[in-house]
A and B are shown apart, each in its own frame.
Chain A
Amino acid sequence: MKTKFHIKDLDLFFKEEKVLKQINFEIPANKILGIIGPSGSGKTTFLRALNRMNDLEDGTRIEGNILLDEEDIYKPDYDVVALRKKVGMVFAMPVPLPMSIYENVVYGVRLSGVNDSKLLDELVEKSLTASYLWDEVKDRLKTSGMRLSGGQQQRLCLARVLAMEPEVILLDEPCSGLDPISTAKIEDALTVLKKDYTIILVTNNTKQAARVADNTAFFLMGELIEIGSTGQIFTTPNRIETNDYITGRFG
């Protein structure tokens, strides 16, 4: 099994506060990793560390290493723009741009200099199909992305990430606020996508991790408490903290 990310002795500080503590584990390629944990446990911070989004924040500092395909993404000459292309991210709140569905999908691709309309057409169909949205919008690609429902907007954002042809997709609570059918569509899309991508899914809904993740990591107060196959975590967790969290006995 190929390792996509290798996290070694990772500490992350916001100014003086240490919000990630001694994180050590490997993330296998072409699998879905679910990350669960209570609010404030460091899930988002960890996810953003994987494509250096925390760098945008002043006073962020890390110790330890994060290797992507065996290369340290925090080494001084690492190409951060290339990193963010390779490691795409979908946020909790869908952020459609005030433009057509079509232009929403190809936005990043155009920015990177591609303008061949045949190529873009293909990319739009491919990305929208993979994000399970094509059938719903194929007849109105020119209408505004803002006019889609919340669930559709979220799939549009996924399509925008897919159009960039990344290798890793990070998702931070992509289904919060979505109805069960929209949620199921995203989950179905992820399950298919993992053949070609490495997927890391932060979710506040432990049941969602149980449904779609191959492996599940449990974070608590900045620490990785336990990681294992999703089947093991949800039937026989090794740590009492994990047990208490997934059974809702927490706090």
Chain B
Amino acid sequence: MQDNFNQQIENLKINLIKMASLVDEQAEKAFTALETGNVELCRGIKAKELEVNIYDNLIQTQCENILALFQPVAVDLRFIISVMMINNQLERCGDIAVNIAQRVKKTNEHHSLIAETQILEMGKQAREMLKNAIDSFINNNIDLANKVIDSDESVDKFNKQIFKALVLKMQNETQLIEPCAHLIVLTRHIERLADHATNIAENLVFYVNARIIAHKKKFEKWGVSDQTID
């Protein structure tokens, strides 16, 4: 029974890694298109969505089966919970890559605008975070996960700065309102991608250290710790 369980866990992990590499490819294409303005790259992204969704369903079903058949506890239970959460986050990252690609196509003629603001720097950082989040759970690398969690703040900062810059642009050059509006939405997508990468990293920390760290910053601001809430 233990052998069977280990085999199923192994299999689940393999599927999650396959799913992650699909999403990673989507993100890679979207961000390269953003950086280079090569919209041709955007084509394959949407097509990958179907495959991602198949893995999403497969992983969901596998988790459900393992929970029902083995009723895992402790570290095994945390593993299943974190796989379910990471699966969900990855699926959304895939969606966001599609969204980013759409905005890249719409703003293609205004590539100079992208270069002018800090959108590329922000994109690089978010891209790096997703890559590291995926690497961290493949290799159980807590340090890397913590690095991802720490980067989230600077992406938020980029987002605010870029928003301001784009609003200013729209005020001064009304003919740029439309592309700027697209770019605001684009940066919002990038910001969400970084959030999901952060969640993935937090799920790894939960699995390894049995500590829930999501919303920790908010709790700190309110002066409560996660331990005080029952």
Contact = CB atoms under 8 A, between A and B. Distances in A.
The main secondary structure of chain B at its interface with chain A is: helix
A118 to B, nearest CB: 47
A75 interface: no
Contact of A234 (B1, B2, B5, B73): B73
A236 interface: yes
Interface stretch (A43-51, A60-68, A185-193, A241-249): A241-249
B73 A249 contact: no
Instruction: Identify which of B1, B74, B75 gathers the most chain A CB atoms within 10 Å of its CB.
Output: B74
B2 A235 contact: no
A249 B2 contact: yes
B2 A243 contact: no
Contacts of A210: 73
Nearest to B5: A248
B74 A248 contact: no
B71 A207 contact: yes
Size class of the A contact interface (CB-based, 8 Å): 10 to 19
Instruction: Identify which of B73, B77, B78 gathers the most chain A CB atoms within 10 Å of its CB.
Output: B73
B56 interface: no
A237 B5 contact: no
A123 B74 CA distance: 43
Nearest to B76: A247
Interface in A200-245: 206-207, 210, 234-237, 243
Contacts of B73: 206, 210, 234-235, 246-247
A206 B75 CA distance: 15
A234 B74 contact: yes
Given A235-B210, A236-B210, A243 B5 contact: no
B188 to A, nearest CB: 37
A248 B2 contact: yes
B71 A236 contact: no
B44 interface: no
A220 to B, nearest CB: 16
Interface string B1-36: 110010000000000000000000000000000000
A243 B79 CA distance: 14
Given A246-B73, A247-B73, 16 more contacts: A206-B73, A234-B74, A235-B74, A235-B77, A236-B74, A236-B210, A237-B74, A243-B74, A246-B74, A247-B72, A247-B74, A247-B75, A247-B76, A248-B1, A248-B2, A249-B2
Interface of A: 206-207, 210, 234-237, 243, 246-249
